[in-house]
């Protein structure tokens, strides 16, 4: 192709994206840490009901930095993310604004939103301990048990630095203090069957393969794996257990949303937030993603309900988030991933 | 709240106290391993292809470049699927040997530093192969023949003539591989190998310390620059230019007997493990999951990837020509600095580059919009950092090094006496470049274009973070599934990355054939 043509083509591409950003249409822009294919069905429903188009930008890392750098010009209306630490990080870096919406306040119980209404949780998820269905079966277990000598060489987990594990460690710090948490983490590391690797699904597979008997994993992965023809046999090889039922309760994390400080489409953004906390979306989160809806009265999916009721850790999420940095450092100190 | 306030002072000390040494040693080990292994792959292949004659030579000649077109992390996933406990190979072994469980036998674990070294070497060796082959082809065959007639064995002749003459190409090739390895995150992360890149990510994105992340990045770069400069320094007196006359084309060794079989086995084996096997695995996934992975957007993503890669490759080529000719015309420290600077981005992980280019361009946008408002105009939004512009810039920062290096090594073989002759015949500097230099480095230019094009097709982290809304490339689309261990769903788009990457190969091959 001639350079001239190439140049012309690149100019058109630039112009196209520029106009799509500045065009004033009924739309709302979402920066999402959550994969597009997970939330797209919900967004499609929203567009169908309201006529507002949803633009999603998905990335697993760095979106907070991007919003921060873009400042007052940021096109982001909402940031959609998992993990309490990211929600608190957005809030504490002054990248969010308060939302006063009766609908949101009514739909989302107080413990699942920021006291100043800067962030809102949309779903909760449990950090479960999976056990081998053949070799172990369902067990009454605690996170603290994982440090016991009889678990030597029997535990699999993803990287300690993954937000889900960092938050779990942070919750142990919040409950027991940093010193006890360090002793616990060191012993858990000694009990690992292999170096932390893969994601939560890979741990379930490792249990199926007989590499370990216990694995840390979020609850919704089990549902997702049962849907996947290749992974269904992995999922069937494990029992799902809710840890710490007789003590502090299972560690629960959230996925949530914030309204960006400089949201250009504020009205539509709030409309979408309200929609996400409403019956339809909450039902979809439950049915499509197997998460626990935050809205009182919306039932979890049949599969999730079949796992039974459980006691959740009541420690406020903000207290756990406060220990985030200490948890990251602790993981380095015990060289958890090495 | 205080948990997320930026803590600049303690982070670096914390790292030094805990994991920095481990990370550094792992990083050095991985780089050394990848360099050594790629060297073992690339040097024999390049020499056999350039200097020997055997069946399927002309086919292998360009097939050996193909592994470049597959993203390393895809190869990593494919091999992990094949080799892990429930993969076909171990399953077969268990059935065959009547083993029951993990504890009954030993099987090497691929998710280790060694696994990462093998995968990275398999996908990166073509850089070295490409440059070495070019160097061997460019060497005058007469020199080699002279060495032989002076009584040296082929091996001695190779050691004492061909090898020293190809050092410039080797240095460029190895440093490209070292930089690519240093900048890799996806593969090492998949294999649970913690390198300095891990430290950069952790300190920046988890501990929120930009300065510490920058410190580590600069240390990594510094080490690399020192290494490259040392190598440059060691051959400062060496000047090699190609002469016309007989090349290896007419003087290739004819291989017979077991020599021929050994060479064929080596080359086809390399191609099989580096390219054919992963490709077949992807193909079989793609066929099985064809209906779920084919959708109307796929065509759009393919076009996006193709145009983006074309634009980036063209601009990178222009930049590379500019800095290289600048250095040729006015050599000096400044020109050298330009070359080095234009190359640094390649060794930095994509996400870091992405945030690195976001900082100045968002500032520019903010400044520009404030100026507009001041003068009574309305704001135009993120003109630079919110459009494809920044994506192209991010890619250029990452990949200019490849184009610069490739032009550098082919220009190095054009003797300055040709420039002098042209100038003394009354041609201006510009005319000399156009009429003498450019035609002589045509092949290098095409190579530069292809390499950047392919890298741009594969690039993931920069694209993820810098793309505007509603803009997916094949790589970002693939990532959505791969990040959830669902490679099957991503096999078709992953195959498209490879196939589109092959387009310029074929086009260029045609061009070269036409030219000859």
User: What's the per-residue H, E or C state across chain A?
Assistant: CCHHHHHHHHHHHHHHHHHHHHCCCCEEEEEECCCHHHHHHHHHHHHHHHCCEEEEEECCCCHHHHHHHHHHHCCCCEEEEECHHHHHHHHHCCCECCCCCHHHHHHCCHHHECCCCCEEEEEEEEEEEEEECCCCCCCCCCCHHHHCHHHCCCEECCCCCCHHHHHHHHHHHHHHCHHHHHHHHHHHHHHECCCCCCCHHHHHHHHHCCCCCEEEEEHHHHHHHHHCCCCHHHHHCEEEECCCCCCCCECEEEEEEEEECCCCCHHHHHHHHHHHHCHHHHHHHHHHHCCEECCCCCCCCHHHHHCCCCCECCCCHHHHHHCHHHHHHHHHHCCCCC
Q: How far is CA B28 from CA A43, B21, B204, B224, in A?
A: 46, 11, 22, 11
Using an 8 Å CB-CB cutoff, list chain A residues near B14: 329, 332
Q: Which residue has the higher pLDDT, B341 or B119?
A: B119
Using an 8 Å CB-CB cutoff, list chain B residues near A56: 469-470
The confidence score (pLDDT) of residue B99 equals: 85
Q: Do A69 and B469 touch (CB under 8 A)?
A: no
Distance from CA of A206 to the nearest CA of B (A): 8
The confidence score (pLDDT) of residue B118 equals: 96
Share of chain B above pLDDT 70, in %: 93
**pLDDT(B485) > 70:** yes
Task: Give the predicted TM-score (pTM) of the model.
Answer: 0.86
The confidence score (pLDDT) of residue A294 equals: 95
Longest dimension (CA), chain A: 72
Which of A66, A195, A328 comes nearest B192 by C-beta?
Answer: A195
The confidence score (pLDDT) of residue B353 equals: 83
> Average pLDDT of chain B?
84
**pLDDT(B98) > 50:** yes
Which of A61, A75, A89 comes nearest B351 by C-beta?
Answer: A61
Distance from CA of A248 to the nearest CA of B (A): 23
**pLDDT(B242) > 70:** no
Could you tell me whether strands A252-259 and A119-132 are parallel, antiparallel, or unpaired per DSSP bridges? antiparallel
**pLDDT(B337) > 90:** no
Angle among Cα B151, B154, B157 to the nearest 5 degrees reads 70
Q: Which residue has the higher pLDDT, B272 or B412?
A: B272
Instruction: Note the pLDDT tens digit of each residue in B388-402.
Output: 999 999 999 989 888
Of the ranges B28-42, B212-226, B404-418, which one carries the lowest mean pLDDT score?
B212-226
The confidence score (pLDDT) of residue A54 equals: 95
Instruction: Report the chain B residue with the minimal C-alpha distance to residue A228.
Output: B486
Distance from CA of A264 to the nearest CA of B (A): 10
Using an 8 Å CB-CB cutoff, list chain A residues near B86: 205, 208-209
The low-confidence residues of chain A, meaning pLDDT below 50, are: 1, 18-23
Q: Are A58 and A220 in contact (CB under 8 A)?
A: no
Is B492 in a helix, a strand, or coil?
helix
Using an 8 Å CB-CB cutoff, list chain A residues near B381: 18, 21-22, 73, 75
Residue A337: which residues within 8 A CB-CB, separation 6 or more? A159, A160, A161, A195, A196, A331, B192, B194, B198
Direct distance between the N- and C-terminal alpha carbons of chain A, in angstroms, rounded to an integer: 50
Using an 8 Å CB-CB cutoff, list chain A residues near B191: 197
Distance from CA of B311 to the nearest CA of A (A): 7
The confidence score (pLDDT) of residue B274 equals: 96
> Tell me, what DSSP letter sits at residue B255?
P
Of the ranges A109-123, B106-120, B471-485, which one carries the lowest mean pLDDT score?
B471-485
Could you tell me whether strands A27-32 and A78-82 are parallel, antiparallel, or unpaired per DSSP bridges? parallel
Mean pLDDT of B442-466: 89
The confidence score (pLDDT) of residue B516 equals: 56
Which of A18, A65, A88 comes nearest B4 by C-beta?
Answer: A88
Distance from CA of B330 to the nearest CA of A (A): 27
The confidence score (pLDDT) of residue B4 equals: 41
Q: How far is CA A16 from CA A23, A265, A293, B173, in A?
A: 10, 20, 39, 38
Choose from B355, B380, B485 for mutation: most chain A CBs within 10 A.
B485
**pLDDT(B152) > 90:** no
Q: Do A73 and B208 touch (CB under 8 A)?
A: no
The confidence score (pLDDT) of residue A9 equals: 60
Using an 8 Å CB-CB cutoff, list chain A residues near B465: 59, 61-63, 66
Which of B85, B207, B365 comes nearest A211 by C-beta?
Answer: B85
Distance from CA of A164 to the nearest CA of B (A): 13
Q: Do A56 and B18 touch (CB under 8 A)?
A: no
Q: Do A208 and B471 touch (CB under 8 A)?
A: no
The confidence score (pLDDT) of residue B244 equals: 46
Instruction: Report the chain A residue with the minimal C-alpha distance to residue B480.
Output: A35
Distance from CA of B314 to the nearest CA of A (A): 8
Q: Do A159 and B192 touch (CB under 8 A)?
A: yes
Q: Do A21 and B387 touch (CB under 8 A)?
A: yes
């Amino acid at each position: 192709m001639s350079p001239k043509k190439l140049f012309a083509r690149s100019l058109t591409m630039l112009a196209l994206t520029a106009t799509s950003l500045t065009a004033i249409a009924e739309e709302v822009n979402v920066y999402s840490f959550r994969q597009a294919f997970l939330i797209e069905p919900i967004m499609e429903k929203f567009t169908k009901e309201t006529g507002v188009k949803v633009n999603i930008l998905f990335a697993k890392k760095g979106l907070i930095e991007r919003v921060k750098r873009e400042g007052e010009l940021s096109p982001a209306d909402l940031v959609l993310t998992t993990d309490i630490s990211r929600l608190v990080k957005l809030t504490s870096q002054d990248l969010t604004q308060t939302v006063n919406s009766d609908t949101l306040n009514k739909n989302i119980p107080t413990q699942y939103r920021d006291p100043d209404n800067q962030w809102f949780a949309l779903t909760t998820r449990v950090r479960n301990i999976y056990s081998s269905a053949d070799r172990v079966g369902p067990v009454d277990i605690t996170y603290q048990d994982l440090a016991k000598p009889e678990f030597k060489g029997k535990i699999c987990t993803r990287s300690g630095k993954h937000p889900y594990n960092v938050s779990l460690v942070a919750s142990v710090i919040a409950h027991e203090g940093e010193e006890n948490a360090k002793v616990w983490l060191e012993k858990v590391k000694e009990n690992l069957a292999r170096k932390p690797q893969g994601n939560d699904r890979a741990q379930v597979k490792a249990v199926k393969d007989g590499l370990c008997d216990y694995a840390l994993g979020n609850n919704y992965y089990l549902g997702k794996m049962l849907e996947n023809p290749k992974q269904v046999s992995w999922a069937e090889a494990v029992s799902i257990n809710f840890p710490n039922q007789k003590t502090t309760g299972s560690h629960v994390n959230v996925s949530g949303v914030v309204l960006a400080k400089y949201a250009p489409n504020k009205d539509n953004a709030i409309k979408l937030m309200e929609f996400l906390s409403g019956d339809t979306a909450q039902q979809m989160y439950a049915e499509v993603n197997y998460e626990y809806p935050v809205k009182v009265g919306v039932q979890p999916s049949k599969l999730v309900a079949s796992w039974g009721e459980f006691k959740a850790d009541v420690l406020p999420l903000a207290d756990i988030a406060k220990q985030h940095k200490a948890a990251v450092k602790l993981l380095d100190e015990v060289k958890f991933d090495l | 709240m205080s948990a997320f306030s930026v803590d600049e002072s303690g982070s670096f000390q914390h790292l030094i106290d805990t994991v920095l040494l481990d990370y550094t040693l792992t990083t050095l080990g991985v780089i050394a391993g990848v360099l050594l292994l790629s060297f073992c792959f690339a040097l024999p292949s390049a020499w056999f292809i350039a200097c020997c004659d055997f069946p399927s030579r002309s086919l292998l000649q360009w097939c050996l470049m193909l592994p470049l077109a597959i993203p390393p992390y895809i190869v990593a996933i494919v091999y992990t699927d094949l080799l892990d406990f429930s993969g076909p190979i171990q399953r077969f072994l268990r059935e065959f040997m009547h083993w029951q469980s993990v504890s009954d036998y030993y099987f090497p674990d691929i998710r280790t530093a060694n696994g990462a070294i093998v995968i990275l070497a398999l996908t990166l060796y073509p850089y070295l192969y490409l440059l070495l082959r070019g160097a061997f082809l460019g060497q005058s065959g007469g020199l080699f023949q002279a060495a032989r007639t002076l009584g040296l064995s082929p091996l001695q002749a190779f050691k004492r003539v061909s090898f020293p003459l190809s050092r410039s190409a080797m240095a460029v090739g190895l440093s490209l591989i070292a930089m690519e390895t240093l900048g890799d995150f996806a593969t090492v992360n998949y294999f649970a190998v913690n390198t300095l890149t891990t430290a950069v990510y952790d300190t920046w994105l988890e501990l929120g310390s930009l300065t510490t992340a920058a410190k580590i990045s600069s240390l990594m770069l510094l080490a690399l620059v020192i290494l490259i400069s040392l190598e440059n320094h060691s051959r400062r007196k060496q000047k090699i230019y190609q002469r016309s006359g007989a090349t290896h084309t007419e003087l290739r060794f004819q291989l017979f007997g077991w020599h021929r079989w050994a060479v064929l086995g080596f080359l086809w084996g390399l191609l099989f493990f580096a390219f054919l096997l992963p490709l077949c695995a992807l193909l079989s996934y793609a066929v099985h999951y064809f209906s779920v992975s084919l959708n109307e957007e796929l065509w759009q993503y393919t076009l996006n990837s193709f145009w983006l890669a074309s634009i980036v490759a063209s601009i990178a080529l222009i930049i590379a020509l500019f800095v290289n000719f600048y250095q040729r015309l006015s050599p000096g420290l400044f020109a050298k600095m330009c070359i080095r600077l234009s190359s640094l981005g390649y060794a930095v992980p994509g996400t870091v580059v992405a945030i690195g280019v976001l900082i100045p361009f968002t500032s520019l946008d903010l400044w520009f919009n404030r100026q507009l408002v001041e003068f009574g105009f309305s704001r135009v939004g993120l003109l630079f950092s919110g459009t494809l512009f920044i994506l192209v810039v991010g890619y250029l920062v990452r990949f200019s090094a490849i184009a610069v290096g490739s032009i550098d090594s082919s220009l190095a073989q054009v003797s300055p006496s040709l420039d002098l002759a042209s100038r003394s015949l009354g041609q201006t500097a510009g005319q000399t470049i156009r009429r003498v230099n450019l035609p002589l480095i045509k092949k290098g230019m095409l190579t530069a274009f292809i390499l950047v094009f392919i890298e741009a097709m594969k690039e993931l982290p920069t694209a993820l973070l810098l793309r505007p809304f509603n803009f997916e490339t094949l790589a970002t689309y693939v990532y959505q599934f791969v990040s959830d261990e669902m490679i099957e769903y991503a096999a078709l788009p992953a195959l498209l990355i490879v196939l589109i990457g092959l387009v310029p190969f074929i086009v260029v091959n045609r061009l070269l054939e036409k030219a000859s």
